[in-house]
Chain A
Amino acid sequence: MLEKMLLGRYIKSNSFVHKLDPRTKLLGSFYFILIIFLANNWLSYLLLALFTFFAIWLSGIDIKFFLNGVKPLIWLILFTVIFQVLFTTGGTVYAEFWVFQITSSGLINGAYIFARLVLIIMMSTLLTLTTAPLELTDGIEHLLRPLARFGFPAHEIALMLSIALRYVPTLMDEAQRIMNAQRARGVEFNQGNFVDRMKAIIPILVPLFVSAFNRAEEMATAMEARGYRGGEGRTKYRQLDFDRNDLLVFVGYLLVTAVLIGLRFIAF
C-alpha cells in the first residue's frame, strides 16, 4: 500500500523546477492555494489548469505520476463534489427529490470544487516530487527564521524536521524488516477480525519503538561527539540561492494573479 503513495516522494532530476530555490517552491505552492480561491469562472479555472500543466511540463516528470497521485484521494474528492451537487440551490432545477436538488449552479459548483482539489493536489505533488526532503527543511527553516525573534524555536524545529525526514525511509525499511521477521514466525497481518489484526501489530510496534529509542540515543551521542551544541553560531553547508529563475516564477505568479483578478471583476 505504501508504495502506491506518491505524495511525499522525490524524483531526482535536473529540470527547471528541480533547480528552483526550495523557498520559491514552498511559497509558490502556498500562494497557489490562495489564488485558486480567486477563480470563480471557467476561464479562470482554465488559466490555472494551464498554469499547473505548464509547471508540470517544466519539471519534466510524466503527467501520469500526478494522475496516480490524485487516485488515492479520488473518493474524498468525489464525496465533497457530490455533496456540493446535491445541496446547492439556485439556477435552473434539473431534478428534485426529497431535500436534494440537482441544479445548474450545483453542478457548476461541483465541477469547480473538483478542479480546485485536483489542482491543489497536483501542485503539492509537484512540490514534493521535485524537492529533496532536506531542501524542503532548509526552505522551511529560512522561512521560519523571522519568527525566531519572537522566541519561536525555528532552528530546533528545522532540525527535528530534517532528522524526522531523514529517518522516514530508514524506519520504513526497519518496519518492513521486522514485519518480515515476524511473518517468518507465523504472524499474519491481513487475516482475521479487527482484534486479531490489532494484536498482530504489537510484534512490530514494540521492536520498532525499541529500535527508535536506541537509534535516538546513538544519534544524540554521535551529534555531541561531533561538537553539536545547538543552533547558535552555526554556519550552513547548503546555501540557498535565489536567482533569476526564482524571480521568473514570482513574475509568473504575479501575472496569473493579475489576470485572475481581471477575470473575476471585469469579464463578468
Chain B
Amino acid sequence: MANQIIFDQVSYTYNPNTPFAVDVLNNVNLTIPENKVTAIVGHTGSGKSTLIQHLNVLLRPTAGTLTVAGEKVTATSEHATLKPLRKKVGVVFQFPEAQLFEESVIKDVMFGPLNFDISEEEAMRIAKEKLALVGIPEHLYERSPFDLSGGQMRRVAIAGVLALEPEVLVLDEPTAGLDPLGHKSMMEMFIDLQQTTNITLVLVTHQMDDVAKYADNVIVMEKGTMVKNGTPAEVFADASWLDQKQLSLPQAMSFMAKIDSQLDVAMPTTAKPPLTVDELADYLLKIKAGIQVEEG
C-alpha cells in the first residue's frame, strides 16, 4: 500500500485571493491503486493536468490532504520534505522534448539522477540502460539532443524521466503528435515496463482505445471533480453518459453498438462486451458460430 496515491477532499485554486483566482480542483476524493495501470480521462479543462501536478507535489493542495508514497501533503507542507517524493513519482509531461537542454543526449538523461545525489558512474549506467530501453541507438549518445528528430527527442526526454527509476510513472499524453507506429511502440514499451518492474502507471489520455486496451482502472474527471471511477468495462458501459461528459467509446465498442442496433442477430449473452479489437473479433466469431449452429 506504500505507493498508493490518495486524494482526500483535495481542492486547488490558482492565484488565490486575486481577481484572477480560478478553482481548478473541487473536493477531489480518489485513490490511485498501486502496481496497476490507471487512466485519467476527461474533457479539456477538466483539471487533469492540475491533478497530475499534485501527484509529484509540484503543486500542493490549497485544501485537503494528499497522500503520496506514505507521506501526507497539505497546504502547509514544507518544500524541503517534498523533494524525495519527486524521485518516487516520475512525470512525463506533454511534449516532453521541450525539457531537453544539455549538450549531449547522455548528459541530459543523467541530469535527473544527478539531481538526486546519485554518483556519476551510476547515473551513466542508468542513463545507458534507459536509452536502450526507449530505443535510442548508441551512436547518438554523444550527439546534441537538438540534432535529433522530433520522435527521437521525445524518446530521450522520456528516458530522462525513466532514469529517476520512479515507482509511480505518470504519463500526460505521452504519444501526442507521434505517428501510429511510434504511438504503438511507445505504449507497448510503457506497458511492458509496468509489467516487468511492477510500477504504478498513471496515463492521462484522450484516446479511448488506449484506455480500453491498457488500463485496469479509469478515473473520469469533469469540472475539477471525479465523476466516475471503475474498470474500463464499467466506465464504458453507459454510452449516453459518456456522450454527456463529452467523451467517446472505444472504436471496437462503437462498432459493436452499431452492429447491435442495425443487425438482427442474437448476441451471445455469456461473453462480456468487447473493449478492444481483439475482443471484438472473438465476439464476432462467437456470433458466427451461433448462427452456424442454428442453421445446422
Contacts and interface: CB of A to CB of B under 8 A. Distances in A.
B93 A177 contact: yes
- Interface bin, chain B: 20 to 34
Interface stretch (B2-10, B28-36, B79-87, B285-293): B79-87
Interface string A60-90: 0010010010000000000000000000000
B19 A187 contact: no
Interface of B: 14-15, 18-20, 53, 56, 58, 79-80, 83, 86-87, 90-91, 93-94, 96, 98-101, 111-112, 115-116, 146, 160-161, 164
23 contacts: A11-B19, A68-B18, A180-B53, A181-B91, A181-B99, A182-B99, A183-B58, A184-B86, A185-B86, A185-B99, A185-B112, A185-B164, A186-B83, A186-B86, A186-B115, A187-B115, A190-B79, A202-B101, A203-B99, A206-B101, A207-B98, A210-B101, A210-B146
A3 B18 contact: yes
Interface string A160-186: 000000000000001001101111111
A184 B93 contact: yes
A211 B14 CA distance: 25
Given A180-B53, A207-B98, A210-B146, A185 B19 contact: no
By DSSP majority rule, is chain A's interface helix, strand, loop, or mixed? helix
A3 B20 contact: yes
A232 B82 CA distance: 57
A207 B58 contact: no
Nearest to A179: B58
Nearest to A202: B101
A186 B112 CA distance: 6
Contact of B15 (A3, A177, A185): A3
Interface of A: 3-4, 9, 11, 62, 65, 68, 174, 177-178, 180-188, 190-191, 202-203, 206-207, 210-211
